[in-house]
Amino acid sequence: MDQVSRRLLLRSGIGAGALALLAGCGGGGGARRSGVRVTPQARSDSDWEFVSHKPGWLGNESGGGASGSGALRGVVPRSSWTRSTPKVWDTKPMGRVSRITVHHDGMTPFLSTSSSAAVRRLEAIRNAHVSSNGWADIGYHFVVDPAGRVWEARPTTLQGAHVKYNNEGNLGVMVMGNYDEQVPTIAASGSLDDFVSVLMRRYGVPVGRVFTHREIRPTACPGRNLQRVMETARSRGGALARA
């Protein structure tokens, strides 16, 4: 980690303890500098449409516990947390989505339901992924916070950088926090179930193609407690098995 990103992280209030764990998820680009070039012109406004403020992905009135207002039902757009844009020329296009992988950030435990705290953490992770790892953008496509909000991260038109050598057609969904050291909030696990179900239906991904990071590569991610939640969700009668 270089000094610039270290300063950025410290300034973001995450602290030195988290810093040491920042690579915890162990994401992994694998495509750095070797991507098929996608010209900026290849990207159109419609590429961003998926997350454009359509309410209703939760599909029910009470689920999620998304925000204090209880009104948030859509994905929070990227523009609400960063003005940065991905280095599109340094990525590969997503192509057909065929699998979904769930992560934690593996940093310090995180229980805040504050939107601004989530924004600081998102930006710190993006900075580390870009400045230290040399990636085109934050590695994950979506991030779930402890309040159950779902944040848009890397555009789904671009391959992520979240499972080394395994980013092709792979949507990355990260839950903020460290699930070796904490348990997911009810709001976060409810949102994760609901949102991954929506992704499965939208992209035609069967439950057998929904993974956790450790099921593809040797890593602690997503932590034993989130691993357990995911195993339950995919087992017979679980939320994802029924999606």
* Interacting residues with Zn ion (CB under 5 A): 25, 103, 213, 221
With respect to Zn ion, which residue has the nearer C-beta, 103 or 149? 103
With respect to Zn ion, which residue has the nearer C-beta, 129 or 213? 213
Distance CA 136, CA 45 (A): 19
Distance CA 7, CA 170 (A): 32
Which candidate, 49, 22, 152, 134, places its Cα nearest to that of 87?
A: 134
- Integer-rounded Cα radius of gyration of the chain: 16
With respect to Zn ion, which residue has the nearer C-beta, 157 or 167? 167
Q: What 3-state DSSP class applies to 144? A: strand
| Structure-token match 């992209």, residue found | 203
Torsion of CA 136, 112, 65, 214, to 10 degrees: 50
Distance CA 226, CA 239 (A): 14
Q: How far is the CB of 63 from Zn ion (least distance, A)?
A: 25
DSSP 93: B
With respect to Zn ion, which residue has the nearer C-beta, 128 or 221? 221
Q: How far is the CB of 163 from Zn ion (least distance, A)?
A: 7
With respect to Zn ion, which residue has the nearer C-beta, 126 or 213? 213
With respect to Zn ion, which residue has the nearer C-beta, 117 or 221? 221
Q: How far is the CB of 18 from Zn ion (least distance, A)?
A: 15
Distance CA 146, CA 11 (A): 22
Q: How far is the CB of 210 from Zn ion (least distance, A)?
A: 14
Q: How far is the CB of 224 from Zn ion (least distance, A)?
A: 13
Distance of CA 217 to CAs 88, 146, 154, 165, 222, Å? 26, 25, 21, 9, 11
Q: How far is the CB of 3 from Zn ion (least distance, A)?
A: 26
Q: How far is the CB of 179 from Zn ion (least distance, A)?
A: 11
Which residues, in sequence order, are CB contacts of 115 under 8 Å at separation 6+? Answer: 67, 147, 149
With respect to Zn ion, which residue has the nearer C-beta, 149 or 213? 213
